[in-house]
Structure 1
Amino acid sequence: MLEAYENRLPGEKLSLLVSLPFISVHIGALFALTISPSPFALFMVFLMYFIRMFGITAGFHRFFSHKTFKTSRAFQFILAYLATSSAQMGPIWWASHHRHHHKYTDEIEDPHTPTLKGFFWAHVGWIMSPSNVPTKEEYVGDLKRFPELRFLDKYHYLAPFSMAVSLFALGEYMALNHSQYGTNGIELLMWGFFVSTVILYHATFTVNSVCHVFGYRTYDTKDGSVNNWLVAILTLGEGWHNNHHAFPNSERQGHKWYQIDICHYILWSLSKIGIVWDIRDVPDDSIKVKRYGSNVV
């Protein structure tokens, strides 16, 4: 543990002030446990988790960070809004740190390497450090040219706030007009927003922590990335992390037929109706063998 602490860069330390929003969402989720959820509220937990995880996986990661497919400016904004409503900062900030991570994966400059800085730091510690609050501007010139993304990024708290207000309003509407569902505004706010957001936090963060420690390796990459099937299920396909680090410019991360990649299935379906296009697929076996040896196919 001491060694992990010593491996942090100057300024990489926890800050209560930076941590307050993150801690506050957890406190909200704890209060939710005092309210027995209705079946409708539990459905909303799942729905809000699923659509926002898709926003993070397809939007923040596969589109904004890696440009693995193309889409319209309107759908680009929808992805950005859904992901930003998860209270994980904005698209420009997120992509800048992720691109930096790929440049320095599991090296001392990597903001969330569990190998060098410890599991806790990789999972949540790094987002509670003042050193990681600024956007790494040098990586995201392509994204900063969109004023709507700059606005969403600068005022990133508006997206989760609007999502929370919408859930409260939906709950009040249901209480007044569809009382048979047994829900109300407070219940949907606490469960649909706070609980689902906390689950979303920790599922997303397992990619940085768990998927560099617990799992198996298909490709002999220069980092510690591993594949983890459980994380892949929870994150709609992001758990095939060793696959991703081997071919980061490929949209599909489940390289084998049995490696479930729900995000890819959705994007493939959207490509059939013209919402997304030019999806970058996994290289063929000859390229895999050339880079990583014959044992990968």
Structure 2
Amino acid sequence: MIAILTFLCVHWFLSLFFHTFFLHRYASHQMYTTSKGWERFFYLCTWFFQGSSYLIPRAYGTMHRMHHEYSDTEHDPHSPHFFKDVWTMMVRTREIYNDFATRKIVVDEKFTKDPLPEWDALDRFGDHNITRLVFALGYIGFYVAFAPHWAYFLLLPIHFLIGPVQGAVVNWCGHKYGYSNFDNGDKSKNTSPWGILLMGELFQNNHHKFKDSPNFAKKWYEFDPSFAVMKMMHAVGIIKLKPVPVRAH
């Protein structure tokens, strides 16, 4: 049991960290700069820890910029206020993401004028069905080896779809439940204390007010653990953070 729960927690939080740190705060918003070598390392970690549900940074960044441009309107790719349930939202979001990933549609220049990280070779490999299947079989094999009861196998879908599951939780809860510090003209919320457990991602109201700020926490009682890690990386020279807007009191 300990092995399974440890594996679940490690997979969840490492996948989530690189989701928010690399896909969200770097690819989408360029909240920090880094060397090409470190960018490739973070890119590789994002692929490895997302595994079977790997999201291409270029496609994710494009879609997320679209989300901010059209937040909680009918053009928002994943506003919960235009879908009957979270599953329908996930399916529609995946369709839009696939269009960006395959370059099926021409993207408005305003969503790509700021550079997006690209590593075509890794994206082709990571996005391949065989690669995804190998990861899925690895997760199953770990459970076969360590699960003390068949019921633990019900956790496997979380591993298979960990990236989309995390995104769905953030986008559904972060635009429906919680409190607002700011009037952003949308329905974004801060869902606390889950904002902490989701590595800062559920401080959506704060983030939509200061979309380029690397610190999603804005009140004294809020804490963004991902930003704390980023400050340490900044201190040792791995990344260079952009200036943080003045905190709200």
* Superposition CA RMSD, Å: 3.1
Instruction: Evaluate the alpha carbon distance shift between residue 118 and residue 77 of structure 1 in structure 2; reply closer, same or farther with a 3 A threshold.
Output: farther
**Partner-residue secondary structure (3-state), 1:209:** helix
Amino acid of the structure 1 residue aligned with 2:121: F
Instruction: Evaluate the alpha carbon distance shift between residue 271 and residue 191 of structure 1 in structure 2; reply closer, same or farther with a 3 A threshold.
Output: farther
Amino acid of the structure 2 residue aligned with 1:151: A
Task: Indicate which of 152, 165, 180 corresponds to 2:122.
Answer: 152
1:140 correspondence with 2:145: no
1:110 correspondence with 2:76: yes
How many residues align? The count is 233
CA distance in 2, matches of 1:258, 1:160: 40
Amino acid of the structure 2 residue aligned with 1:256: K
The residue number in structure 2 matching 1:90 is: 56
Contact 1:92–1:143, Cα closer than 8 Å, also in 2: no
The residue number in structure 2 matching 1:76 is: 39
Amino acid of the structure 2 residue aligned with 1:284: V
1:284 correspondence with 2:249: no
The residue number in structure 1 matching 2:103 is: none
CA distance in 2, matches of 1:200, 1:144: 19
TM-aligned CA deviation for residue 206 of structure 1: 1.6
Amino acid of the structure 2 residue aligned with 1:124: M
Contact 1:123–1:206, Cα closer than 8 Å, also in 2: no
Instruction: Point out 4+ residue stretches in structure 1 off by more than 6 angstroms.
Output: 165-169, 190-193
Amino acid of the structure 2 residue aligned with 1:110: D
TM-aligned CA deviation for residue 111 of structure 1: 1.0
The residue number in structure 1 matching 2:9 is: 46
1:203 correspondence with 2:166: yes
CA distance in 2, matches of 1:128, 1:140: 19
Contact 1:65–1:96, Cα closer than 8 Å, also in 2: yes
Contact 1:244–1:253, Cα closer than 8 Å, also in 2: yes
The residue number in structure 2 matching 1:56 is: 19
CA distance in 2, matches of 1:101, 1:83: 21
In structure 1, runs of 5+ residues without a counterpart are 1-37, 176-181, 286-295
Identity of aligned residues (%): 23
**Partner-residue secondary structure (3-state), 1:222:** coil
Contact 2:57–2:117, Cα closer than 8 Å, also in 1: no
Structure-to-structure mapping, 1:9-24, within 5 angstroms: none
Q: Whose radius of gyration is greater, 1 or 2?
A: 1
Amino acid of the structure 1 residue aligned with 2:126: H
**Partner-residue secondary structure (3-state), 1:43:** helix
CA distance in 2, matches of 1:161, 1:74: 28
TM-score normalized by structure 1? 0.67
- Deviation readout 1:207-264 (Å, 9 max, x if unpaired): 2111111111100101110100143133200111000000001000011232121111
In structure 2, runs of 5+ residues without a counterpart are 101-105
1:263 correspondence with 2:243: no
CA distance in 2, matches of 1:144, 1:272: 25
Amino acid of the structure 1 residue aligned with 2:91: G
TM-score normalized by structure 2? 0.79
